[in-house]
Amino acid sequence: MRLPLIVAALALLPISSGFAQASDPTPPLITPSAQDPNKDARLAWWREAKFGMFIHWGVYSSFGGEWKGQKVEGYAEHLQRIMKIKREEYLETAVKPFNPTEFNADEWVKTASEAGMRYIVITSMHHDGVAMFDSKVDDYNVVKTSKFGRDPLKELKAACDKYGVKLGFYYSHAQDWSVSGDPRYPEPNGPERRKAVVEKKVFPQIKELIQNYHPALFWGDTPHHNPKELNEQILAYLRKEDPNLIINGRVAGAIYGDYLSTPDRPFEFGPMDKPEEKDWEAIPTTNESYGYHKLDKSHKSPAHFIQLLAKAAAKGGNLLLNIGPMGDGKMAPEDLTILHEIGKWWSVNGESVRGTTRTPLMRQAWGDSTLKGKNLYLHVFEWPKDGKLVVGGLKGEIEKVVLLADREKELAVKRNGLDVEVQLPQVAPDQADSVILVQCKAAPEGDAAFLLQNNMPNHLSVFFGELLGTTKKDGWRLGRGQSISANVTGWSQKECGVKWSTRLKAKTTFDVVVRYDAPGADGKAKVETDGGAVTKKSEDTFGGTFFVQVGDQKLKGEIIQRGDGVELNLGSVTVESGDVPVQVLTDTITGKELMRLQSVTLTPR
């Protein structure tokens, strides 16, 4: 029943009779997912899929990141919080007028499928508290309260079943901005109100989602806004309602979920070799917002996402690529361009990602690799100009090597100790990522050292280096891997440094370039928040001197220039063949930090 406006906004709505069981204060105890005997069976399809689509879409999408002529800095889906819009105004200006007449579930799912995606996760309810489905628990949903009057999740479920795509739901289990002033939820906004929201809304709406739409996956978010015991109760409830439901690590903590989620908008991945990182998922978005932001034109290239997909698969991870459809229900043109280009690549090279596992090889100067049984897939991002692709540290007998773009023609192969040289055609079949299939007699193994190439630049990222000194969660450590944190941070002690184990086949002269971040040159810097990256006044300072040591040779550098992505050319070194450790070592520190190092690049002359 549709209630009058004021009553619908504030009155206590009836709760289904099954709710009392859902709010049992003593739910089953949860255990770390590693101890769950059903985990492997539950995750089988997800591990195979490797690639999915994240969709952030809600009533906020109609505004496109702009409110009364003012641009939203950060995530567009955080419009209500950032612009401090009260529920009453949000109801009148965002919820009730929402009418995406161009929404076509079949088109969305078909587009995802053609891009190579096997699952979709959509925001069933984001932090604004507006349910994107027909909820009997609360009329604050797009079916009962918006002009749209349709259930988009029901339509998406039908389309997903048609195309063989799994459907999952993001549900904001720990934040709900719609409850302020609602007498159902006691003030102040703290643990007691969160408990009331979970009992009166979260549990019964989760039950609706599971029973009415049968999702394959549940995606929680921002668990730090709930008391720990509430998150544990929610996870236990999910497990009870559907034991086969895959649950991400943002419900009650990574070790209790089925898999780990990376930080938002990842650009780089760490080693991902801890026990809780066996199963993980990266969640990039096409620009810098998850919800549609018409003023954010920072869309990355299709090549960026193709390579990110390969890098994730190389470390055993999945990629859940986000798009933010527009308020009218259509996908943004920029997003469609990216998806269509990925689809073209996938139609040729999809087998090099789907069903693969972590590669045995170290990352290579030319790209990365993935493994499927005895087959090794080489993802070549940088095509060697001389046509000689040297695969460093590939141990195993090779039977056949072909390009996926031309399977009829075998490529000539020559072994040289630990390494293998493949003779390539002059022109790369794909400028983003040309994939070479190496069929081995048995599952291949790899060497841990990075092979320095003498026919292309060697980018030594801190994300596959060894951090020297004592790392701390809130001090010296790897950054979060986002565009503004693809670096090391907390370099404030003499003992800090970074080391790479590398080796060289023949004597070579390299130019040495250090790339670092030292943000806040203008007194401002980008800072990560729950709602994305925002500009704030910076009190960070950087400065000092350091050494780059290549083998037994040292080059000195000084941090003078401030900014992001600063490149400092230190000169050249001539290196003999053999094991060549590369290190960045502290000399002096004159700021709060020396620098936030991204990489060292050794380019052969």
- Tell me the pLDDT tens digit for each residue of 191-208: 999 999 999 999 999 999
Residue-wise pLDDT for 483-526, tens only, equals 999 999 999 999 999 999 999 999 999 999 999 999 988 888 99
Q: Looking at residue 29, what is its pLDDT?
A: 62
Q: Is the pLDDT of residue 4 over 70?
A: no
pLDDT digits (tens, 9 = 90+) for 31-90: 788 788 999 999 999 999 999 999 999 999 999 999 999 999 999 999 999 999 999 999
Q: How far, in Å, CA of 276 to CA of 358, rounded?
A: 15
Question: DSSP string covering 229-242, please?
Answer: HHHHHHHHHHHHH-
Q: If pLDDT is split at 50, 70 and 90, which confidence band does 10 have?
A: very low
28 — pLDDT class (breaks 50, 70, 90): low
Residue with tokens 């090279």: 349
**Structure confidence at residue 25 (pLDDT):** 45
Considering the chain, what is the average pLDDT of its residues? Answer: 94
Give the 3-state DSSP-derived string for 138-205, with helices as H, strands as E and coil as C.
CCCECCCCCCCCCCHHHHHHHHHHHHCCEEEEEECCCCCHHHCCCCCCCCCCCHHHHHHHHHHHHHHH
Residue 27: the pLDDT is 53
pLDDT of 9 reads 36
The amino acid sitting at 76 is A
pLDDT by residue (tens digit) across 222-248? 999 999 999 999 999 999 999 999 999
Domains contained in the chain, CATH given: 5-11+44-350 (3.20.20.80), 367-447 (2.60.40.1180), 458-604 (2.60.120.260)
* Cα gap 36→259, rounded to integer Å: 12
More confident residue, 341 or 474: 341
In this predicted structure, the answer to whether residue 373 has a pLDDT above a threshold of 70 is yes
3-state secondary structure of 416: strand
